[in-house]
Amino acid sequence: MGIYDREYYQEDQGGFLQPRQSGGGMSITVRLIILNAVIYFGGIFLDDKGLPAQWLGVSENTLTNPLYWYQFLTYGFVHDPTSAMHLLFNMIGLWFFGAPVENRLGRREFLFFYLIAVIFGGLVAGIRHSLMEGPTTVIGASGAITGVILLFAIFYPRAKVLLMFIIPMPAWVLGILLIVQNVFGQISGGDNIAYDVHLAGAALAAVYYFGGLNFSRFFDRFSSNRVRRGPKLRVHRPKTDGKVAVEADRILEKLHRDGLESLTAREKRMLEKYSRQVRDDE
């Protein structure tokens, strides 16, 4: 799997766009690239038994066995350890297209979008596995990156991009070509590329933009609702003791009649105690 049309973003002024973060620190785009690279190189040492795909990829058992549902997420961070190009093309696409999309959405929202795109693509692969033949195991970030590329094309339709480093075109044309390529690939079949996962990422991008979605607000609202639905705690404050109130009335009358100097130390302490209880009962 992979984005085999090598699309790269180029600014109108020339030069490749670099990931940048106004808040400082490492961007989510760079973190995702590092994570994919670490898992890839780790997988090289386990490839003799095909363990990375076996443990982390979406297979025919993922949808039907809840113990494997974690694979709906993990497959998106595994790449074919026998082909460096699989990782390279995906990460180049993420580097150049993920940076401006992340700057547009913000770190948190971009991460939500990327992870949900991975999960949605994994669900599509799992459903396909349960209904028909397809790639034995689905791995790779291509579906999520396809979603990022299409979202870039929607956000910046007139930005100039280079197809295969050579052919300049507006981003909206790239978006259309990307969809057409995957639709025809899905219809024709015959290879080992999960075009339906790519199309799932593109569909999520379209729904996200035109539906006005915001995953950060959704999760914040969900979290706040859970807090509000929790058990309500009430602080019990005992009522002022009746004997103390009677004694306080006597002391207050004495204070009004004879002044503060007339009160004993005990009466002053009693008055302070009564005052605290009254404040606590308010």
Residues 220 and 249 in one domain: no
pLDDT at 279 (0 to 100):
61
Note the pLDDT tens digit of each residue in 143-177: 999 999 999 999 999 998 887 778 888 999 999 99
Note the pLDDT tens digit of each residue in 126-144: 998 888 765 578 899 999 9
- Residue 183 vs residues 82, 122, 186, 187, 237: alpha-carbon distances, Å: 27, 18, 5, 6, 68
Q: How many other CB atoms sit within 10 Å of the CB of residue 172?
A: 15
Q: Say if CB 144 and CB 117 are below 8 A apart.
A: yes
Residues 6+ apart with CB under 8 A from 117: 143, 144, 147, 148, 200, 201, 204, 205
Q: 76 falls in which pLDDT band (50, 70, 90)? A: very high
Residues 212 and 248 in one domain: no
Domain interval for residue 252: 242-281
What is the overall mean pLDDT for the chain? 79
pTM (global) more than 0.85: no
What is the tally of structural domains in the chain? Answer: 2
Q: Hey, what are 116's tokens?
A: 């949900």
Determine, yes or no, domain membership for 34: yes
CATH of the domain at 90: 1.20.1540.10
Q: How many whole angstroms separate alpha carbon 101 and alpha carbon 88?
A: 20
Q: Hey, what are 254's tokens?
A: 């004495």
